[in-house]
Structure 1
Amino acid sequence: HAGKPVRVSIAVNGQRIRLYMDQAKLFDLPRAFEPANLRSNFHFRAAELLPAPQDGFYIANLRIAETGLDARSQLLKNGRFSTTGIYFNANSAEIKAESAGVLQEIAAILNDNPTLGITIIGHTDSDGEEAHNLQLSKARAANVKTVLCERYGVAPDRLKTDGAGEQAPVADNGTPAGKAENRRVEFVKR
């Protein structure tokens, strides 16, 4: 990959760690970390590059995000998973690049469980007209389905979509933080 940007996503949840390069999952280690050991840093090195780059390598756009509950456990055991980690351009169904990690995780769950079918439900905050928000939430759910199918190879017949607009808030739409929580995508097992 010398000279070519590579997107790396690392997901840590409890003892489990998953590592993706571009779209491909390289590692999924369920017991990578001992519970008693505190991990507080990551180290990156380019040991496999031959010849080694003279000026090293560069890391850009590094983001560290705290995750909540494990999507796999929530979806398979509880039948639903809700995330605010799929981002859209304002007033649009276009998915932002920083959503790749969550989308990869959902795709991995679906690809590892070939009989699992889900309904994708989009939600919005209360800004704008109610009818527009309902259509926007449906378009966002449909775009999530499109990405899961076209980019990650999930069979389209396993996914249904719907939208709830602003009708099912989980937080106060009167605050910016509450609006951010309400802009979410739910995955419900069928």
Structure 2
Amino acid sequence: MIRPLLLMVLALPAQAQDLTLPAQARSTFTETRALASHRVATGPFRDSLPSVTAEGAVTRQVWQVPIPQGTLDLLAPLRDQLEADGWAIIFSCATRACGGFDFRFEIDVTPAPEMFVDLSDFRYLAARKSDAWTTLLVSRSGDLGYIQTTLVDPEAEVETTVKSASAPVPPPARQPQGDLAEALRATGRAVLADLVFETGSTDLSADSYPSLAALAEFLTANPETTIALVGHTDAEGGAEGNMAISRRRAQSARTLLIERYGIAANRVETHGVGFFAPITRNDTPEGRETNRRVEAVITSTE
């Protein structure tokens, strides 16, 4: 049983109950729109995402909180409160059962740094009460948890406002190469920090990459594990071009992992998300360099 010692109230409009969060919760983003739409997932992603589009007054809030044990510790008390207030849980899932990577990039998520979603550890819930919908998304980054709540209420009368925290806590810094295996074991993901790309480039030309060697060693020691290599870009250029570049970055890393380090091809899939998942701001050269990256994400240990 989860028994937080200190609590705070998260006030939501009209249809929703006042949700109780740990007292250490810190708001990173609040948005209220008098009339908008929100895509609500009603099932896991397989070849497509089952969903409905809810319309009405939309209120979204993002909170950052020291994580107690896991993402279920964040979600369960909120789910229980919704059910006690008469909300019907329509759909709930965790990570792979949701559809993993594909699910995450089909749903509506507040961009980083206000909200972080670890592709190896997130949970989602959709609930309905009369004509109103509520969705919850929880995840973590290091020892911090993130909670996104979205309420769509056709009957609410609200004014449009947007408020972002002035200085959200940054994500953990890229780990040293020697810590790659430790990061994978602890969080299910790790940045391949020595795979450096110039803006628009997908080339990997160095003779050796310690991060790929460490990843290969980890995979060899854990033969049941499969991974996804996920490519990212900075925010220079258009969305479509950056999606293509990010996919090619991941594919370049996969080719080296298979051909140079002997990892079986069926254990490594690739994805590209363009500039949609930054880990820092894109308005400085240093930030753009940090965002141009490839990450390894554990997709299965069975």
Q: What's the TM-score once normalised by structure 2's chain length? A: 0.39
Instruction: Return the match for 2:228 from 75, 96, 119.
Output: 119
1:102 aligns with 2:211: yes
Instruction: Verify the 8 A CA contact 2:178 2:214 in the aligned structure 1.
Output: no
More RCO (CA 8 Å, sep 6+): 1
Q: Equivalences for 1:66-77 in 2 at 5 Å?
A: 67=176, 70-77=179-186
Aligned-residue offset at 1:83: 3.3
Structure 1 residue 88, shift from structure 2 partner? 3.1
Residue 278 of structure 2 corresponds to residue 169 of structure 1: yes
Structure-2 separation of matches of 1:156 and 1:84: 22
Q: In 2, distance between residues paired with 1:107 and 1:69?
A: 13
Q: Does 2:187 align with 1:78?
A: yes
Residues 68 and 152 (structure 1 numbering): CA distance in 2 closer, same or farther, change over 3 Å? closer
Paired AA for residue 161 in structure 1 = T
Unpaired stretches in structure 1, ≥5 consecutive residues: 1-65
Aligned to 1:134: 243
CA distance in 1, matches of 2:286, 2:207: 19
Structure showing greater Rg: 2
Instruction: Report how many residues are paired.
Output: 125
Pair 1:182 & 2:291 matched: yes
Aligned equivalents of 1:136 and 1:95: distance in 2? Answer: 13
Q: Is the 8 A contact 1:145 1:159 kept in 2?
A: yes
Asked if the contact 2:180–2:190 (Cα under 8 Å) also holds between the matched residues in 1, the reply is yes
Q: Is the 8 A contact 1:123 1:185 kept in 2?
A: yes
The normalised TM-score by structure 1 is 0.61
Q: Distance in 1 between matches of 2:180 and 2:229?
A: 14
CA distance in structure 2 between the partners assigned to 1:173 and 1:84 by the alignment: 17
Distance (whole Å) between structure 2 residues aligned to residue 180 and residue 74 of structure 1: 21
Are the aligned partners of 1:76 and 1:189 in contact in 2 as well (CA < 8 Å)? Answer: no
Q: Tell me if 1:143 matches 2:272.
A: no
Give, in whole Å, the separation in 1 of the partners of 2:255 and 2:233: 19
Deviations 1:12-69 (A, max 9, x none): xxxxxxxxxxxxxxxxxxxxxxxxxxxxxxxxxxxxxxxxxxxxxxxxxxxxxx9277
Kindly state the Cα deviation for residue 143 of structure 1 after the two structures are TM-superposed. Answer: 1.2
Query: Residue 209 of structure 2 aligns to a residue in which SS?
Result: helix
- Paired residue secondary structure (2:230): strand
Moved >3 Å (runs of 4+): none
CA offset at residue 118 of structure 1?
0.4
Unaligned runs of 5+ in 2: 1-174
Residue 123 of structure 1 contacts residue 183 of structure 1 at CA under 8 Å; is this kept in 2? yes
How far did 1:102 drift? 1.3
Distance 1:179 1:107 in 2: 27
Which secondary structure does the structure 2 equivalent of 1:146 belong to? Answer: helix
Measured on the aligned residues, the alpha-carbon RMSD in Å equals 1.9
Q: Please show how residues 28-43 of structure 1 align to structure 2 within 5 Å.
A: none
Higher strand proportion: 2
Alpha-carbon distance change, 119 to 156 in structure 1, aligned in 2, over 3 angstroms: same
Match of 1:41 in 2: none
C-alpha change, 1:150 and 1:89, in structure 2 (3 Å) is farther
Can you list the C-alpha shifts for 1:126-184, whole angstroms capped at 9, x where unaligned? Answer: 11222111100001101111110011000000011001100111111010111111111
User: What SS is found at the alignment partner of 1:165?
Assistant: coil
Aligned-partner residue type, residue 164 of structure 1: V
Moved more, 83-92 or 170-179: 83-92
1:157 and 2:266 are equivalent in the alignment: yes
